[in-house]
Each structure stands twice: as structure tokens, then as C-alpha cells.
């Protein structure tokens, strides 16, 4: 982003306020054509819940008008106004265009919404036109978040000297001795905790079950050297941002401790050491019967209207490739999910299979902790970027200054075609910045790629969750031949003591680490809920036809079943919208309906 420095005396706030007034008049008139007239011919409108009760993108006048015709009559929109508690309107440069960015609020029949817009300024006699507009539902009437001016007073604790105090009530609340929760969340990592916090503030009774002994163990138990690869200011949690004293790149154990504290400070009901055993859905009662085994061995049966799987964007089922001869290998074979530290393998000859982030980090950890030799095996070209500056450029909008919740709406507003074009431009830039590193890697035979359509590492994350590496040192070790390199196409088979290459060379190893990823989260659903539910839900993650992550943060084909996951940024942004959908169903709130218009393919 570049702030535009013009010599013109443009009153950005006045221009924006006038545009919002025009938008409000057009929407409240119920005339789709009047609204469409405010858009440029290549304009986009994205909606999250407020009009469509879904995630939808509409492109061009005809598509936008069809969508408005279908949904506008049922929305009951009114009181469209400039947002007073958001970043003020500003003139900036995005994607080689000068735009006015600003926020507006509105009210619907079911609650309150916030919009974000990028306007293309005309000359002084012309009203700006919309390039990109996002509308989102932020609150449900009667179920507003109990935060800020709506926070609890706590007076009941001040006046009660003879009964239960706050701690007594918290303990009873967590026991569920005389009730079942309204929502059962499986997984107490970042996804489950953040969703639990949203639901609690909306007045929903949610129980989170986590199979590890402590909240945060999902990070605490990962390999010893792990550090987050994006900056701390992009990763803050709702209601409780990270302290400004924290390091830019957060170590895993620091995050684990924060998550444990978050559960306590946000008063979340979490049962740790609790395994989800089974669940079945009864259509007649519209509820799940779920069984969980608590830390003390007690099996508890819970009946809940809503079940949320919050165990990550991928399943916890390791992907184990069928490698010829691997079963004959007599050394140690371990999936990266069970790798904690290279100290265990000091003096050993190690092979790491896989060149994503985990594979590189494991290889670097082994090398740094005294392995006799480390070799990494590549199966396909890998997108490699430096941590700084290339790896952080995709998140640079979070360092511009506006509050993180405002920036989240900026990122949510970007339609897929613009995102695709932006990532291609960004990847050209990062490839140039990282040319020396990529040339050095290529020189030793490591194969690199900017992605199948040159959209870079973050698009690979959105599409399949992996296939890239953000360099924190391992690429340099490979380029300097301190870590060896093999290509999987050159391997004939594994032997009891190592592997045989197609040229007849035999290389001995003591340990093999499979950094080969995990099965699709659909397999996690299958393991927990059986084939019928898994097949009904289908694959999870990757773009669906509406360019939102498939079966994430939205209604699935299985009634009462939802999936929550993604990065810290994803969880912070989309937890609100998933919580709103669940809350609306529990409250029996009538949501917008209408014919399904044509959508962007």
C-alpha cells in the first residue's frame, strides 16, 4: 500500500460521506439498478452473511443486480452510515490504482453490519464508483457480544457474601453436572478456543474438549525449534491482543502458553485430557449424541444441537506414502508429527522426505543438533521464499497502522480474480528479491517453482495447505551442501540399511523422517463420525465454487456439523461469522433467503 500524496485539495472524508449517503438512499429504496449505478463496470461485491447468509462474490453490473434483486427485499437494510469506530477514509494506492478506502455501518432486519469499500475517485464533478465492496454481518440483534460497553458489571459478586463467589460459579459452569452444552467443540487449539470465545460473548454455552493434557499442547508438542513464520501483529486473538513487547516472530512455546492463558482469561469451558469417542446425529431431534472419555476415564454422553470439528485445516492422520522397500528398513522411521528434537538423533545419519516447511525445519533441526549427516529428499518443485522480506510481504497490510479488525475486513474484501492478479505481481517481486537464493538452490539441483500459475506460496497454502518453504536457514544449508539433496525420481527402493538409487549407489541411513503431511480433514471426520458423515461432508479446505475454503466456517451438507480451522488470521476473522451462524440457528432467527443468482466461477 502507498499513501497517495496529491497536490489536490481532495476532502476524502467529504467525498466518502457523500458516497455513503448515495449508497444508503439506493439500498433503502429497494432499487437494485440504483445500487448498481454506484459500481464501476469491473466492480465486485462480496457479501458475508448480511445479504445472502453465505459467502458470496458478485462481479459486474449484471451479476450484482441479479444478486440484489434476489436478496435485497428480504434484508430490511436501513441506517447506512459512515463507520465512526473504524479507520477514517483514506486515499491510497492499491494494485496500481488510486482508491479511497473506507468503512460504513448499516442495520438489517436481524442485526448490525459493517462494510468496506474501495472507491475509484473521479474528477471533482463526478461521484466515485465502487471497485470493490464488502458487506458483513457483525452482530445479531439480542445476541450482541458482551464486550466493551456491554461488558458484565460484576456487581453480583460484590454483593454476595454468603453464597458462591465467581470462582465457585466458574467451577460449576465447567462441570456440566446438570446440563448439556449447546455446542460441542472438538479441539482446544487456536481454532476451538477462538470460536469458543466468540460463542461465549454471544451468550452461547459451548464446551471445548481437548485430548492433550493441557491447552496449548498442540503447539507445545511440536518440534523443538518451531517459530511462527508470520509477524506477531498479524496473529493477535480476538479480545486479547498480544503484548507490544513480544518478538516479531513468535516461538511455539510462547504461543502455547498464551493459548492456555487465553482459555482462562476468556472463561472458556475446556475439558483437557478428554477424547472424543463417537457421535451420531438424530434428525428427529436435530441433535448429536456424542460420547467423550474424560481424563479420569469416565465416559460422558452429551446431547448437543451443534458439533464443531476444530482440529485444524488438515486431519491428524499422517499421510504415509507407499515407498518401495520402506517396510524392510531396520532403522527408525518416524512421521514429522512425532518428531520433537534432533537431539535424539545426534551422531545419526538422517534422511528427511519432503520439502515443505516441516521437512526443511526438521532437516535444519537435525543438522543443528549434531546429526552425522542430513539429507533431504525432494518429490516435486518447491516454492521457496525468504522469511524477510518476501515471506512477510503478503501480510504487509497488517503493518500499515489500522487496527487488526479493520485490516481483516480489507483482506476479506479482495475478490478471487484480484487476489490472483495481486499474488502474481507479488510473486514476481519476491522471485526478484530472492534471485540469489533461488539460483544457489538450483545450482545444487534443488528444484523451485513460483506455483502452478505463478501465484506464489500463499496461494499454495489456500489451495492445498502446503508445498512451500519460508526460508529460516535450511535453504542456505542445502545451497552450501551442508545438507544433502536427493530427488525421489532417482530412488530405486529402500533397503534394510538405507536406500538404493537408480544408478546403483547405496546410501546408508539410521533414521528416516517422513515430512509428508496429513490426509484431508475429511479423513478426520471419517475417523470420528464414520463414513456416512464424511462422505456427506466431502473434502475440506481449498477453494470452493464461491472462492471460500471448502466446508470451512460455513454450513456443511451434514446438519448441525461445522468445521473451524486455519491460521491465526483465519480463525480470528472467520470465527465471528461461524459463531453468528450457530447463534442464529440456536435462537431460531429467520435469516435472509432468496433465489440463488449466478456466481463468479
Residue 288 burial (C-beta neighbours within 10 Å; 0-12, 13-18, 19+): buried
For residues 597 and 230, which has the higher predicted lDDT (pLDDT)? 230
Which CATH superfamily, name and number, covers 148-315+519-587?
Answer: FAD/NAD(P)-binding domain (3.50.50.60)
pLDDT confidence of residue 157: 78
- Which residue reads 452510515 in cell numbers? 81
Q: Can you tell me the mean pLDDT for 304-328?
A: 89
The DSSP bridge partners found for residue 129 are 120
CA 281 from chain centre, in angstroms, equals 27
The pLDDT assigned to 95 comes to 85
CB atoms within 10 A of CB 383: 27
CATH assignment of 2-140, among 3.40.50.11720, 3.40.50.800, 3.10.110.10, 3.10.450.50: 3.10.450.50
Report how far residue 219's alpha carbon sits from residue 86's, in angstroms, rounded to the nearest whole number: 33
Beta-carbon contacts of 153 under 8 Å, excluding residues fewer than 6 positions away, are: none
CA dist 440 and 522 (Å) reads 39
pLDDT at 293: 98
Q: Say what the pLDDT of residue 302 is.
A: 98
Where is pLDDT greater, at 330 or 6? Answer: 330
**What whole-number distance in Å separates Cα of residue 1 and Cα of residue 418?**
15
- pLDDT band with cut points at 50, 70 and 90 for residue 126: confident
Q: Which residues contact 235 (CB under 8 A, 6 or more apart)?
A: 228, 242, 250, 567, 568, 569
pLDDT tens-digit profile of 513-537?
999 988 889 999 999 999 999 999 9
Tell me the three cell numbers of residue 561.
456439523
Q: CA dist 121 to 16, 37, 125, 415, Å?
A: 10, 15, 10, 20
Torsion of CA 248, 250, 251, 255, to 10 degrees: 150
When pLDDT is cut at 50, 70 and 90, the band that residue 592 belongs to is low
Q: Where are the domains of the chain?
A: 2-140, 148-315+519-587, 320-516
Assign a CATH topology to domain 320-516.
Answer: FAD/NAD(P)-binding domain (3.50.50)
At 317, the pLDDT band (50, 70, 90 cuts) reads: confident
d(CA 348, CA 342): 10
Residue 31 Cα distances to 38, 47, 53, 108, 252, angstroms: 12, 18, 20, 16, 52
Alpha-carbon span 221 to 201, nearest angstrom: 30
As a whole number of angstroms, the distance between CA 137 and CA 105 comes to 10
C-alpha cell of 261?
492463558
Is 153 in contact with 146 (CB distance < 8 Å)?
no
| Beta-sheet pairing, 468-471 with 484-487 | unpaired
Matching CATH topology for 148-315+519-587 and 320-516?
A: yes
What's the chain's average pLDDT? 93
What CA–CA distance (Å, rounded) separates 197 from 240? 10
The set of cell numbers assigned to 146 is 458482551
What pLDDT, on the 0 to 100 scale, is given for residue 127? 87
| Torsion angle, alpha carbons of 221, 256, 238, 116, to 10 | -60
Q: Please, are residues 537 and 525 in contact by the beta-carbon 8 Å criterion?
A: yes
Lowest mean pLDDT among 93-97, 272-276, 359-363, 438-442: 93-97
For residue 245, what is its C-alpha cell? Answer: 513487547
- Which residues, 6 or more positions from 178, have their beta carbon under 8 angstroms from its beta carbon? none
**Residue owning grid cell 491510497:** 92
How many whole angstroms separate alpha carbon 494 and alpha carbon 476?
Answer: 28
C-alpha cell at 505: 549407489
Whether the pLDDT of residue 561 is over 80: the answer is yes
337 pLDDT higher than 70 = yes
Pairing assessment for the beta strands 506-508 and 498-501 based on DSSP bridges: antiparallel
CA distance 220 to 265: 19
pTM over 0.75: yes
* Predicted confidence (pLDDT) at residue 8 exceeds the cutoff of 60: no
pLDDT score of 154: 84
pLDDT of 81 higher than 50: yes
Task: Compute the half-sphere exposure of residue 116: CA atoms within 13 Å on the CB side of its CA.
Answer: 21
CA separation for the pair 316, 189 (Å, rounded) = 13
| Cβ within 8 Å of residue 156, ≥6 positions away | none
Look at 194 and 95; give whichever has higher pLDDT: 194
Q: Answer yes or no: are the C-beta atoms of 258 and 242 closer than 8 Å.
A: yes
pLDDT of residue 316: 76
d(CA 479, CA 456): 21
Within 10 A of 298 (CB to CB), how many other CB atoms are there? 9
**Percent of the residues in the chain that have a pLDDT greater than 70, as a whole number:** 96
Question: Cell triple for residue 470?
Answer: 519460508
- Cα separation, 259 vs 270, in Å, equals 12
Give the residue-averaged pLDDT of 6-11: 56
Residue 491 pairs with which residues in a beta bridge?
501
pLDDT for 601:
35
**Tens digit of pLDDT for each residue in 375-425?**
999 999 999 999 999 999 999 999 998 999 999 999 999 999 999 999 999
Closest by CA position to 398, among listed 568, 259, 542: 568
Spatial separation of the C-alpha atoms in residues 8 and 233, rounded to whole Å: 34
Instruction: Give 426-483 pLDDT, tens digit per residue.
Output: 999 999 999 999 999 999 999 999 999 999 999 999 998 889 999 999 999 999 999 9
pLDDT, greater one: 329 or 161? 329
pLDDT of the residue at 125: 61
Mean pLDDT in residue range 139-159: 88
Q: Which residue has the cell 478426520?
A: 524
Q: Are 509 and 498 in contact (CB under 8 A)?
A: yes
φ, ψ for residue 495 (rounded to 5)? -125, 175
320 or 270: which leads in pLDDT = 270
Helix (H, G, I), strand (E, B) or coil at 483: coil
Question: Average pLDDT, stretch 105-132?
Answer: 91
**505 CB neighbour count, 10 Å cutoff:** 11
Amino acid at each position: 500500500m502507498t499513501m497517495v500524496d496529491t497536490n489536490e485539495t481532495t476532502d476524502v472524508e467529504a467525498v466518502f460521506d457523500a458516497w455513503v449517503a448515495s449508497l444508503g438512499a439506493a439500498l433503502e429504496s429497494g432499487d437494485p439498478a440504483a445500487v448498481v449505478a454506484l459500481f464501476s463496470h469491473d466492480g465486485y461485491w462480496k457479501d458475508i452473511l448480511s445479504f445472502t447468509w453465505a459467502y458470496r462474490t458478485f462481479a459486474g453490473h449484471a451479476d450484482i443486480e441479479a444478486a440484489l434483486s434476489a436478496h435485497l427485499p428480504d434484508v430490511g437494510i436501513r441506517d447506512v452510515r459512515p463507520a465512526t469506530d473504524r479507520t477514517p477514509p483514506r486515499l491510497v494506492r492499491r494494485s496500481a490504482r488510486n482508491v479511497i478506502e473506507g468503512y460504513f455501518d448499516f442495520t438489517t432486519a436481524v442485526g448490525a453490519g459493517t462494510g468496506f469499500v474501495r472507491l475509484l475517485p473521479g474528477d471533482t464533478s463526478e461521484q466515485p464508483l465502487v471497485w470493490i465492496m464488502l458487506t458483513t454481518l457483525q452482530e445479531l440483534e439480542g445476541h450482541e457480544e458482551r464486550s466493551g460497553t456491554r461488558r458484565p458489571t460484576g456487581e453480583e459478586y460484590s454483593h454476595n457474601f454468603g453464597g458462591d463467589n465467581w470462582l465457585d460459579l466458574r467451577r460449576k459452569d465447567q462441570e456440566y453436572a446438570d446440563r448439556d452444552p449447546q455446542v460441542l467443540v472438538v479441539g482446544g487449539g487456536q481454532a476451538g478456543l477462538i470460536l469458543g470465545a466468540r460463542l461465549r460473548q454471544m451468550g452461547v454455552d459451548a464446551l471445548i474438549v481437548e485430548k492433550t493434557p493441557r491447552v496449548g499442547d498442540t503447539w507445545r508438542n511440536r518440534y523443538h525449534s518451531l517459530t511462527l513464520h508470520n509477524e506477531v501483529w498479524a496473529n493477535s486473538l480476538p479480545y486479547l491482543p498480544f503484548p507490544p513487547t513480544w518478538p516479531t516472530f513468535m516461538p511455539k512455546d510462547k504461543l502455547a502458553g498464551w493459548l492456555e492463558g487465553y482459555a482462562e482469561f476468556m472463561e472458556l469451558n475446556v475439558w483437557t485430557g478428554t477424547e472424543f469417542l463417537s457421535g451420531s446425529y438424530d434428525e428427529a431431534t436435530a441433535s448429536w449424541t456424542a460420547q467423550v472419555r474424560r481424563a479420569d476415564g469416565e465416559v460422558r454422553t452429551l446431547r448437543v444441537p451443534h458439533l464443531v470439528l476444530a482440529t485444524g485445516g488438515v486431519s491428524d492422520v499422517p499421510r504415509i506414502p507407499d515407498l518401495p522397500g520402506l517396510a524392510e528398513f531396520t532403522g527408525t522411521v518416524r512421521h514429522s508429527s512425532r518428531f520433537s528434537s534432533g537431539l535424539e538423533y545426534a551422531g545419526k545419519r538422517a534422511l528427511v522426505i519432503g520439502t515443505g516447511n516441516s521437512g526443511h525445519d526438521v532437516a535444519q533441526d537435525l543438522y543443528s543438533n549434531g546429526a552425522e549427516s542430513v539429507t533431504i529428499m525432494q518429490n516435486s518443485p518447491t516454492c521457496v521464499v525468504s522469511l524477510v522480506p518476501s515471506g512477510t510481504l503478503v501480510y504487509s497490510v497488517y503493518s500499515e497502522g489500522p487496527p487488526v479488525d479493520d485490516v481483516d475486513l480489507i483482506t476479506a474484501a479482495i475478490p478471487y480474480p484480484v487476489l490472483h492478479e495481486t499474488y502474481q505481481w507479488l510473486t514476481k517481486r519476491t522471485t526478484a528479491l530472492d534471485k540469489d537464493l533461488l539460483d544457489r538452490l538450483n545450482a545444487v539441483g534443488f528444484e523451485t517453482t513460483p506455483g502452478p500459475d505463478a501465484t506464489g506460496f500463499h496461494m499454495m497454502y489456500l489451495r492445498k495447505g502446503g508445498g512451500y518453504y519460508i526460508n529460516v536457514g535450511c535453504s542456505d544449508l542445502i545451497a552450501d551442501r551442508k545438507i544433502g539433496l536427493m530427488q525421489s525420481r532417482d530412488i530405486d527402493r529402500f533397503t534394510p540399511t538405507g536406500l538404493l538409487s537408480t544408478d546403483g549407489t547405496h546410501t546408508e541411513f539410521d533414521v528416516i523422517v517422513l515430512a509428508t503431511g496429513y490426509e484431508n480433514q475429511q479423513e478426520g471426520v471419517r475417523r470420528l463420525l464414520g463414513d456416512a458423515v464424511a462422505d456427506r461432508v466431502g473434502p475440506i479446505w481449498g477453494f470452493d465454487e464461491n472462492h471460500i475454503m471448502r466446508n470451512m466456517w460455513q454450513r456443511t451438507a451434514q446438519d448441525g456439523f461445522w468445521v473451524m480451522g486455519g491460521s491465526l488470521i483465519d480463525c480470528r476473522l472467520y470465527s465471528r461469522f461461524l459463531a453468528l451462524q450457530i447463534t442464529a440457528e440456536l435462537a431460531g432467527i429467520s435469516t435472509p433467503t432468496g433465489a440463488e443468482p449466478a456466481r463468479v466461477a
